[in-house]
Amino acid sequence: MIYSMTGYASATRELAANTGNGGVSVSVELRTVNSRFLDLNFRMPEDVRVCEPVLREMLMNKLSRGKVDIRINLQRSEQSANAGAINHDALSQLALLERAVVNAFPEAGRLRTGEILRWPGVLAESGVPAETLRDAVLGCGKQAITDLIDVRGREGAQLGAMLLGNVTEMETIVARITPLVPELITRHQQKIVERLQEALGIAAPDTVSTSISREEIAERIRQEVTMYGIRIDITEELSRLTAHLNETRHVIEKGGKVGKRLDFMMQELNREANTLGSKAAAKELADSSMTLKLLIEQMREQVQNLE
């Protein structure tokens, strides 16, 4: 199975306040887009900032590439917003920090009550215990990550089917033009022979004297035709195209984290298609080269979205 790097998932839980009045709604949203590396961006209230390391580890264990925006929202009810419960864990940590500062700087003033209450995380407005709030955030995060992987997997399957369709179409083009190559080379060599014969005077009457013998002219024509045949022979390019297409199909069908590998294969396929176009000695080959490059470009754009 292959995975897309784009997707969206969210999870929500409702928590009741320990006073029995009101409560808080916890939601975790995940949005991902393509990126060369794994880039995690968190936006959350200070009340649940302690959850960030655990969520970061959970995401790094499941994802390898992509830019991920993680947004945690706490929606408090009106009754809960007026609860004014104290977060004793945050209060204890603040007290330790204050004592450490006073010990180092005895002349420093102590915190006032208003300053303490305004300190991020001290006033747990939800009235929900900090541990309960933390467990709810992590639970929502775990569910959102599971749903996100499912979404990325479904989109990845669709992208994989599209890529395999393009590979099949390209294989058909290569199979169609491969038998034409010898005939096209022979046809164009014959045209070269006729043009060279006319240019070098082979078609002139026997009564006309020339400084070059017929044998020398024939040998020169043979050399030119041979070199021309080598220049327009695309057998090697078609063989490499076939090998690259086989490898691309294998990578897609094997699945896993295929994005970087397929990106490399697109470069190789495009190189051979360009060479095929530059050596095309007939309209059939030029048209086929253009179609191949269009299909490869379609694949390259979609490969950028794969993990």
The two structure tokens encoding residue 7:
């997707």
Q: Count of CB atoms within 10 A of residue 65's CB?
A: 19
* Angle value at C-alpha 45, between 41 and 47, nearest 5 degrees: 125
| Banded model confidence at residue 16, pLDDT cuts 50, 70, 90 | confident
Q: Which of 53-57, 97-101, 227-231 is the most confident on average?
A: 53-57
On whether the 156-303 domain is CATH 1.20.1410, my answer is yes
Q: Whole-prediction pTM value?
A: 0.69
> What pLDDT, in 10s, does the model give residues 88-145?
777 888 888 888 888 888 888 787 777 776 676 666 555 677 788 899 999 999 999 9
How many CA atoms lie less than 13 Å away from 79 in the CB half-sphere?
9
Centroid of chain to Cα 131: 38
Percent of the chain with pLDDT over 70: 74
Q: Could you give the CA distance from residue 69 to residue 77 in angstroms, rounded to a whole number?
A: 26
| Banded model confidence at residue 253, pLDDT cuts 50, 70, 90 | very high
The two structure tokens encoding residue 34:
């393509």
Between 180 and 191, name the one with better pLDDT. 180
Please give the average per-residue pLDDT across 158-179, as a whole number: 93
The two structure tokens encoding residue 70:
């993680």
> What pLDDT, in 10s, does the model give residues 192-219?
666 666 666 654 455 555 555 666 656 6
Task: Output the DSSP codes for 128-197.
Answer: S-HHHHHHHHHHHHHHHHHHHHHHHHHHHHHHHHHHHHHHHHHHHHHHHHTTHHHHHHHHHHHHHHHHHH
Q: What is the pLDDT of residue 200?
A: 60
